[in-house]
Amino acid sequence: MKSSISGLGNQAILNKIDQPRELKVNSIMPPQIVLLGDQSSGKSSVLESLTGFSFLQASGLCTRYATQIFCRREREQHVAVSIIPRQDADAATENRLREFKRNIPKLTNEAIVQISIDVLQIEICAPEQEQLTVIDVPGIFRVPSPPFTTDHDVD
């Protein structure tokens, strides 16, 4: 997948920025663009328009977990998909999520019904790939929408 955006950064700098994030070091805050909005307000559509990547879109609640897409220019082309467990995950959950290896169509069809605070991470690398990191997150909840959201999920 090639982004239509060009000149998005230096690979060495982007790789250095990603290292602390992978180690869960929060003292270094790289610049990020964040889209915030209500449920079904078009955040995923805006990201798709900006990047050319397809995001799940549907009426009602669609984005149920944060999705990070890291695009890097590298000599060898590859795509890696993983799930980053939430920081307070128990050891069994963390091990299960770190062992995740599935194809994307099966993943989206079997996605959990409720909101998850774990993060689906997709890394796309190729010789001509533009440097870009995109994060798609669920919308802001104003009222509970069972079975998708509960009182606990609402601001």
pLDDT greater than 80 at residue 94: yes
Place of tokens 């998005």: 8
Structure tokens at 108: 């989206």
What does the alpha-carbon distance between residue 88 and residue 98 come to, in Å, rounded to a whole number?
A: 14
Strand partners, 135: 68
Per-residue pLDDT at 130? 72
Give the pLDDT confidence of 52-92 residue by residue, as tens digits: 777 766 555 566 677 787 777 778 887 888 888 888 989 99
The ranges assigned to domains in the chain are: 11-153
Mean pLDDT calculated for residue range 102-128:
65
Mean pLDDT calculated for residue range 97-115:
58
